[in-house]
Structure 1
């Protein structure tokens, strides 16, 4: 049976440097996990935990930029976790993917801490809108575990001097910062705006275990060129296009 028979596509990321299996129907990775990965200041030999890893997009994009990482993924949906394992094997990554809920992590994860914990939690309030027709897409868009629980889980897994990185809608920045306050420090916030002059729609927030530097708020990175999207062609700014195509690092400060 081929991937086409099972409803799986092969999609290119980072200008073709990375090819990922994704479900044809259901939750499919966009640019957010790619930008999250681009922001992480990992170094070779470090240990990475990707909470809610899906098919492995963020951690494998990070692996494509930084060699010799030890990757651990946690994904509650078994079919997505299975695809993440296949994707990791195809990319040559040193990766273990656990099928588990982040509120009930396996011992192998709970007994470890990590240099970097990364996450791209569901954006939508499940109680505030209609469910998606596909169960996988529905859970990926708005699962039953709230943002505070995601952050709490991540904070507990960051080792001393390690870092937590999260991408999320800007409207939840107050909750992110209040949850991190007093537990992680040296917080950095990079807003992301769809177009110049628009309010940020997303933020990437990073915080360090034991960090003491004051909060640093950077200017927004603009994702798209021009005031409007004029046709079907991608219109990313050159800087964002280089991150998505070439995997260059996303600067958290100007």
Structure 2
């Protein structure tokens, strides 16, 4: 059950998933769907999502991958509880486990190298940059209030096994910072894809795959354009978002 005065129940085209979200507070965006499409998980691998919010990435990964187990780590109590309700709502308790905790304390929650794959749609902006969301829940999700970029990459290095993969979606203007933070924690960027609203627009997001203890060398993949010239979704965006039955 849900309270329609304080929550929404959204139906996703991907996997026919249902997702409860706060009417006011942190709500997922298209970023989560782009990241879920970008990451690669082999059958029987274990995956962890850092900063799960209402659980959208674990839900999408359950629908799109053959991961044996998916763990969602979320700091904020209300969102962690909501994520657990979403797991139960979609009858995915056999594959998804939600853990409430701080990624800065992962050594107290998990074993080192416990996961094959990690993903995260982390806070993009430094404190003092950009317009901060007025709600604490939104502010923590979008600004580095509870964790900084270095905290994220340190946690990723601890959690991912040697040779394991880590996938992120981030701001292009902070790409150099992300790459420095990754390599300083033995996570070598191996693939990058820029996301543009349309062909003439600068990149608004960047997708990064890193591998722990890998040799240097990164593939720059073809850009992803979300809209075509008529301001409707591109064919690839339709595929990712499952628009028009794609």
Asked which structure has the greater RCO (Cα within 8 Å, sep 6+), the reply is 1
Q: Contact 2:179–2:189 at 8 Å: present in 1 too? A: no
**CA-to-aligned-CA distance 1:84-123 (integer Å, 9 cap, x gap):** 1111122233222111111123633244521111001112
Distance 2:68 2:111 in 1: 19
**1:162 counterpart residue number:** 164
Q: TM-score, normalised by structure 1?
A: 0.86
Q: Contact 1:186–1:215 at 8 Å: present in 2 too? A: yes
Shift of 1:220: 1.4
Correspondence list, 1:25-64, <5 A:
25-64=24-63
What is the SS of the residue equivalent to 2:20? Answer: strand
**1:66 counterpart residue number:** 65
**1:117 counterpart residue number:** 118
Q: TM-score, normalised by structure 2?
A: 0.89
**2:202 counterpart residue number:** 199
Shift of 1:187: 1.3
Over the aligned positions, Cα root-mean-square deviation in angstroms equals 2.0
Q: Contact 1:167–1:205 at 8 Å: present in 2 too? A: yes
Q: Which segments of structure 1 move beyond 3 Å, counting only runs of 4 or more?
A: none
What is the SS of the residue equivalent to 2:203? Answer: coil
Distance 1:78 1:169, change over 3 A: same
Distance 1:197 1:43, change over 3 A: same
Shift of 1:46: 1.1
Distance 1:210 1:162 in 2: 8
Shift of 1:164: 0.4
**2:99 counterpart residue number:** 98
Distance 1:212 1:16 in 2: 36
Distance 1:155 1:68, change over 3 A: closer
Aligned length: 239
What is the SS of the residue equivalent to 2:104? Answer: coil
**1:250 counterpart residue number:** none
**1:187 counterpart residue number:** 190
**1:178 counterpart residue number:** 180
Deviates further, 188-197 or 84-93: 84-93
Distance 2:168 2:110 in 1: 19
Deviates further, 69-78 or 126-135: 126-135
Distance 1:89 1:149, change over 3 A: same
**CA-to-aligned-CA distance 1:172-211 (integer Å, 9 cap, x gap):** 1101111222612361111111110222111110011232
**1:84 counterpart residue number:** 83
Q: Contact 2:188–2:213 at 8 Å: present in 1 too? A: yes
